[in-house]
Structure 1
Amino acid sequence: MTALSRRTLLAAGAAVGAAGAVATARAAAAAPVGATVPSGPLRTDPFTLGVASGDPDADGFVLWTRLAPRPLAEDGCGGMPDRVVEVEWQVAADERFRHVLRRGVTAARPESAHSVHVELAGLLPGREYFYRFRAEGFVSPVGRTRTAPPPWALGGALAMAFASCAQYEHGYFTAYRRLAEDEPDLVLHLGDYQYEYARNTYVIPGGNPRDHEGPETVTLANYRQRHAQYKTDPDLQAAHAVAPWLVVFDDHEVENNWADEVPEQPDPHFPARRAAAFRAYYENMPLRRTSIPRGIDMQLYRRLHWGRLATFHMLDTRQYRDDQACGDGYRNCPAAADPTRSITGAEQEAWLLDGFRRSRARWDILGQQVFFGQRDSDAGPATVVSMDAWDGYAASRDRITRGWLAAGVRNPVVLTGDVHAHWADDLKLDWNDPTSRTVGTELVCSSITSGGNGADSTGHPWFGANPHLRFYNNQRGYVRTRITPGQLAADFRVVPQVTAPGAPVHTRASFVIEDRVPGLHRTYDRPLDPALRAAPSDGPATIHDETTRP
């Protein structure tokens, strides 16, 4: 498949998505609240939320869509009748579907918000495929996906991009569009896919350019409506349609800063809220049936093998963690070092350490949510760190780090979201000794929109107390990587603004991690743009680090 035809696919998806978003928004606005949904045939396009694929392995992947002719309906049912709808799916070797390889029919059921999850197996490894759905005379947009290489193959390069933190109200999802135009083979989303707030609750300076529909998400209907609103965005649809995704949640898929069964504020109804959020998350993501929620529990940590080139260990740092010590903010907190505290829970930690011991991959990559390396915000002798990051679970981090060393992991790399800024850092065995051994590398993506436009920057006040921190930039964007047997190259991609649509993208800085050489080597740094420059940050008060409720 040529690059031109892929771009044609993206352009077609953009046109369909934009038209669908406008049409469905108008339909939702015109329909009266509580209007009766006809039980007869569907009369308007139900594929307003696009298509997606995910969790690829060597012989298959998951295909997803959800039927919703009125996606913003307040009852969360998307304007669908209360009946089962048969949905045909097709997988082809080409985007025009001249060579259909597999097809079938599945049921979209009202109890699952008419979502569809098709798990395919028996396909050829390392191949590109195209897919689409049909329902009652309507045809979905086309998606592009692929299988992983065979388990024994080191293979060629893997183009992987990762992103997080897309607050719909704070701007346009242009970075998703630019990510799609980079045509990755695989996309990792590391959390905060959607936000729970009611409109005018979490407001950026100058005001939000868009608004959420509905109240703060608490009920199943609320969460279904909110996911649907995000999915109507054509830029997000393009990013889903271009490649398979690996997804994990962070806090805002439920509520800000939750920890296991502990909500941010006392709430006797939190278990019901968590169960509703998990159910809606599964309904709206390309996840396998192993992740179907059971009440307040959801199996989300899992492992994906990309041949022998890379193993992705996808972590869940919310569902099993001990509550944040000393509150949610930056603290000098002795309890953070308590060896009994964990951010992963004992079972997930044992699973991860066992995965390190069994790994034969060239690169072992942890896809997870919150900052892994130490960030001491105090220039003096005190250690003042975020309680909502691995700093608040120092013994847990030490066990994981020593675990990959004991297992002889060849190239450990941690991928992180959450903090609404690009960072890159060397991971140390002893954080109190700047000259101690570098034992791994962390790459942190900025937000897609959260926090608004941000500003260009070349440094950070915390660098002096944290010499292992190598890069910081406070613009919006994502990280693009190219993984080969010899190196992992990372481009920190940024857009100059998100409060208006259509911004261009550029690479702010590039780094390389060499095989068997942990740590970062900068290969490119774009000169600072004076038009986008801002004063250096003063620390946690001016960086929204997901530590306090707005």
Structure 2
Amino acid sequence: MADEIKNAFDNAFRDYVSTGIPSSGKYKVKKSEVRSAGRVIQSTINEYDAAIAGIAQEVSNLLATVTTSTQWKTPVRAASTANVNLANGLENGDTIDGVTLATGNRVLLLGQTAPAENGIYTVVSSGAASRSADADLATEVLFMASFVQEGAANGSKAYILTTPGPITLGTTALNFTFIFDIATLVPIFSYLLDTIKARPDGLFTVSDEYGNEILGASTEDGVSFAGMRAVSADGFHWVLKDERGNIIAGFDETGPFGFTSGDDSGSAYTPTSGAAARIWTGALQPDGFTVACDVDGGTPQSVAQIEVSTDQNFLNVVQTTPATVPYATEKFDGSYWKSIKQRISGLLAGTQYFYRARVDGLASPAISVKTVPASHVATAFSILLGSCNEFGADPGIIVPSYRAMAKETGILGLLHMGDIDYSDVTAVDIKLLRSRNERHFRSNNDVAALLRKIPLLAYMYDDHDYFGGNDNDWDSSNPGGAIRRQVYRETTPHYPFIQQQLGETDPAKILPVQVFDIGKARFVMLDTRSQRRLTGGATMLGNGTNPPGSWNQLGWFTGTFLPQAATDAAAGDINRLFIVSPTGWTGAVYDGWQDGWSTEQTAICNAVVANPNLPPMTILNGDFHSCAVDDGTNTDFSTAGSLNTKLTQIMASPFMRDSKTGGGPYVWDGVDSHILTAQGYCRLDVRTDGSWLATFKGAPFDGTYTPTVLGTFDTNDL
């Protein structure tokens, strides 16, 4: 199946008369095209039915063979298709098919030079082996069969004796026939079970490549998934849902609803049950994570809760949060966003979980998340890095980099370093801000698919997604700063804010500066937008006096954070420090640190010199539309002596922009490290000792959106 169902629904429910051309006018759904999609669904199910029927027939034939007078024997440990010397070839310590034998093991001989010697034998300590006690009579070997437990060639296989009676042991040739190999059957049945399921709750489903149920039928109400379903409530009806679980059309006992074209159309339908939408996971910690999402549809009485399980079928639910009424925030059109943000805790560190959001009993697709390793324990992990997206209002825009990232394996989370969308809001209107940036990001279909597999580790805004029309020099006098930070708090799953931990209670003053550990790696996310100022003593972070009334983020970083990190490193608790600065560290271009804020750079580097126990440090940057690394050649701006630790830098940008050579000098092992690509990203693999491997990937992408590996940089090579 190659997207036939998807294409049918994309066509039937397209946004415009001509796909991708708004000027052609809004498209009205036609029942004839919905029926056509139904025929595609039926054809697909028929194909699966035929495949299942074929396997069922093979199994039936197999059962007919092995159950007609078949004598199933206790499994043998190993089997040999080569001749074995019975005089001394089955002694303790001998090897058959890669298996070292022990006295008492059972061995099946299949390829003796004299076929009459074939059969099941028992290994002896030394000397000649004899047939096993359950297979040493003619009546015991007739149609006998056995499963082989181990072995390079024969392990997991089953064989049956097909020689007809009468049999005279020692005289009659005993010929065995291969029946099946469990190793080949398991993937087939696993695929079918993973793809097509008849669940205990009465739902028959087909799953997509992410394991989400996209098509199915049920005779029970309250069972939810994205796709077409048949449910029974007051009367039998069909319901069509979009990829976020919203009911958009269907048929009930009164006729069709949700169809708006054709003479036989019904009236538009407003669902009474809400549905979780624009879900994302973040703030991963050893004992849990945070879930944030919107609730579309429903009533003022709608409630939401999160279910957490160790399996994606939710057969082992380990936690269910209390039912909560979503909180409301006003939209610019006078309506309201309904949202929830719930912290999940009490889980095991470094453990795979799945969760789903239930709204009025209807469940979202399963979402994968893994808790981070325990703090201060040496553990390897992998994350994805990048910045700079421009989605606009079209959720269907294809994003090759996000499709490529969704194919990555072993990823803990996505670290987004700013410009989550080029919203460039200039109106001081919190209602407008709520509809842009984070919600544009989460509304994109490719992003949603990625976030079902890989959670957001953390996110910090930059210029396009802070406030203003890409005004890089707009400083702390920015009139929209406070409301932008409020929207961040409302919508984004985040770690505890440092200022709140220090006792700040005024929301308008709180910056989203955060610190978190993954194993022995420590991350700090700096806010380089809210308090920057070029006049009155330039400051990037805010120094307590400039801007007036600011939080002394610079003083906290140099006087509290760095000394504590040095203490923890000396105690062996951390071995790598990652500094997340959306603003570029190297280069006097655009609005980077050296474009007016070099004095503050020097203060930071001097603080590093003053704390000699600091572990190796890496600055993570976005914003500059560059993919590059620096080995420390261009990162030291200290005036108090040379840095005592290596200060490397990774510029990982952009997800949806062409890469360029700007952003200052970047050198790795004496060579310019800039990489030119379109829509790239960085995979960062951190080892147990704190060293790392950075792999940049991006265009060109193949037909399945597999990216090209553009460059790798390993700190172990320095």
Q: Is TM more than 0.5 here?
A: yes
What letter matches 1:275 in structure 2?
A
CA distance in 1, matches of 2:244, 2:359: 21
Pick closer, same or farther for the CA change 1:463–1:87 going to 2, 3 Å. Answer: closer
1:508 equivalent in alignment to 2:710: yes
Runs of 5+ consecutive residues of structure 1 not aligned to the other structure = 32-39, 70-79, 199-215, 264-269, 327-333, 376-383, 515-519, 522-550
1:402 equivalent in alignment to 2:600: no
What letter matches 1:240 in structure 2?
L
* TM-score relative to the length of structure 1: 0.68
CA distance in 1, matches of 2:328, 2:666: 56
Alignment partner, residue 541 of structure 1: none
Pick closer, same or farther for the CA change 1:464–1:96 going to 2, 3 Å. Answer: closer
- 2:698–2:710 Cα contact (<8 Å) kept: yes
1:83-122 map, 5 Å: 83=300, 85-104=302-321, 105-111=323-329, 113-122=337-346
1:52-85 CA distance string (max 9 Å, x none):
221122212212221134xxxxxxxxxx65x353
Pick closer, same or farther for the CA change 1:222–1:464 going to 2, 3 Å. Answer: closer
1:185 equivalent in alignment to 2:385: no
- 2:274–2:360 Cα contact (<8 Å) kept: no
Alignment partner, residue 348 of structure 2: 124
Pick closer, same or farther for the CA change 1:325–1:189 going to 2, 3 Å. Answer: farther
CA distance in 2, matches of 1:233, 1:423: 27
Pick closer, same or farther for the CA change 1:193–1:461 going to 2, 3 Å. Answer: closer
Secondary structure of the structure 2 residue equivalent to 1:114: strand
CA distance in 2, matches of 1:89, 1:100: 10
- 1:190–1:367 Cα contact (<8 Å) kept: yes
Alignment partner, residue 568 of structure 2: 359
Superposed displacement of residue 395, structure 1: 2.2
1:195-344 map, 5 Å: 195-197=422-424, 218-226=428-436, 227-244=438-455, 245-255=457-467, 256=470, 257=472, 261-263=476-478, 270=479, 273-288=480-495, 290=497, 294-308=506-520, 310-323=521-534, 344=553
Secondary structure of the structure 2 residue equivalent to 1:175: helix
Pick closer, same or farther for the CA change 1:473–1:110 going to 2, 3 Å. Answer: same
> How many residues are matched?
441
Alignment partner, residue 472 of structure 1: 675
Alignment partner, residue 584 of structure 2: 371
Q: Higher RCO, 1 or 2 (CA under 8 Å, sep at least 6)?
A: 1
Correspondent of 1:413 among 596, 599, 618: 618
- 1:301–1:348 Cα contact (<8 Å) kept: no
Alignment partner, residue 527 of structure 1: none
Greater C-alpha radius of gyration: 2
Correspondent of 2:694 among 486, 490, 501: 490
CA distance in 2, matches of 1:140, 1:17: 8
Alignment partner, residue 59 of structure 1: 287
* TM-score relative to the length of structure 2: 0.54
1:197-248 CA distance string (max 9 Å, x none):
47xxxxxxxxxxxxxxxxx664222122224333221211123222332111
Correspondent of 1:10 among 196, 203, 210: 210
Alignment partner, residue 206 of structure 1: none
Superposed displacement of residue 286, structure 1: 1.4
Pick closer, same or farther for the CA change 1:193–1:324 going to 2, 3 Å. Answer: farther
CA distance in 2, matches of 1:116, 1:253: 22
Alignment partner, residue 143 of structure 1: 367
- 1:371–1:417 Cα contact (<8 Å) kept: yes
Alignment partner, residue 630 of structure 2: 425
Runs of 5+ consecutive residues of structure 2 not aligned to the other structure = 1-186, 196-206, 216-224, 228-240, 250-257, 261-268, 331-336
Superposed displacement of residue 132, structure 1: 0.7
Alignment partner, residue 163 of structure 1: 386
Secondary structure of the structure 1 residue equivalent to 2:596: helix
1:10-29 map, 5 Å: 10=210, 12=212, 20=242
Superposed displacement of residue 48, structure 1: 3.0
- 1:54–1:62 Cα contact (<8 Å) kept: yes
Pick closer, same or farther for the CA change 1:349–1:115 going to 2, 3 Å. Answer: farther
CA distance in 2, matches of 1:25, 1:193: 28
What RMSD over aligned residues (CA atoms) do the two structures have, in Å?
4.3
- 1:325–1:392 Cα contact (<8 Å) kept: no
What letter matches 2:646 in structure 1?
V
